[in-house]
Amino acid sequence: MTDPTSPALRAEALEQLLTERGLVRTDVIDGFVARYESDVGPLNGARVVARAWVDPEYKARLLADATPAVKEVAWGGGANGEHIVVVENTPVLHHVVVCTLCSCYPWPVLGLPPSWYKDPAYRARVVREPRAVLAEMGLELPPEVAIEVHDSSAEVRWLVLPERPAGTDDLTEEELAALVTRDAMVGVAKVAAP
């Protein structure tokens, strides 16, 4: 780690310069990092999805006005979550989310975006050839399924409500939430049956 242009050294340099000037504190940085490593993550979105699967009235509220509905079951609001819109995947319509200009993503419900979401290949290609990109990522959609790609170009943050897998009628809301993946809530995967 002796390349002075490496991001690791530049990050350390910046942290030193700001702490020496009393502008940030190391323990505050530690706490901020830990919060996004453990508290803010896709479990929040999974709880929202599971509730929508078991409670039709909740689902109706969620699809009509997601921002307050999300707050009923999970922490919402704040950075990258001021206005959340939920769209429902069905057997004939598939939604998938991207931000081609940066990597806007609904942090309160999904945490920070994964590598593939931030990758220039995903940002460049999913608006141009979504069917091919989804197939590469392991989701083969039949040709009769229409696709809507949501390019998050302002402060609206999109969350996909995936289809509930068959054979899950006996599961509790908590068990259902454990099935829901981050990738399904961005729209690049389906939720698999247990």
Partner 1 sequence: MARVSDLGGAPGHGPVPAPDPAEPVFGERWEGRAFALTAFTIGRLSGRNLEAFRDTLDRLTPAEYHDSGYFGRWLHAAQAMLVASAVLAPGAVDARARRLAGETVEEPPDPAEPAKPDYSPTAPGSLREVEAAPEYAVGDRVRARKGARLPGYARGRVGTVARVQPAHVLPDTHAVFAGENPQHVYTVRFSARELWGDGDDVVVTLELFETYLERA
The 8-class DSSP code of residue 155 comes to S
CA-based angle 96:100:106, to the nearest 5?
A: 55
Please, which of residues 84-113 interact with partner 1 by CB under 8 A?
85, 98, 100-103, 111-113
Least distance from partner 1 to the Cβ atom of residue 169, Å: 25
CA dihedral (176, 64, 85, 36) positive or negative: negative
Contact, 80 vs 149, CB < 8 A? Answer: no
Contacts of 111 (CB under 8 A, 6+ apart): 36, 40, 41, 42, 44, 182
Catalytic site includes residue 152: no
Residue type, 183: D
Among 54, 63, 74, 123, binds partner 1 (CB under 8 A): 123
Catalytic site includes residue 104: yes
Nearer to partner 1, 55 or 151 (CB): 151
Least distance from partner 1 to the Cβ atom of residue 65, Å: 11
Least distance from partner 1 to the Cβ atom of residue 19, Å: 10
Known binding residues: 99, 102-104
Residues annotated as catalytic are 99, 102-104
Binding-site residue set for Fe(3+): 99, 102-104
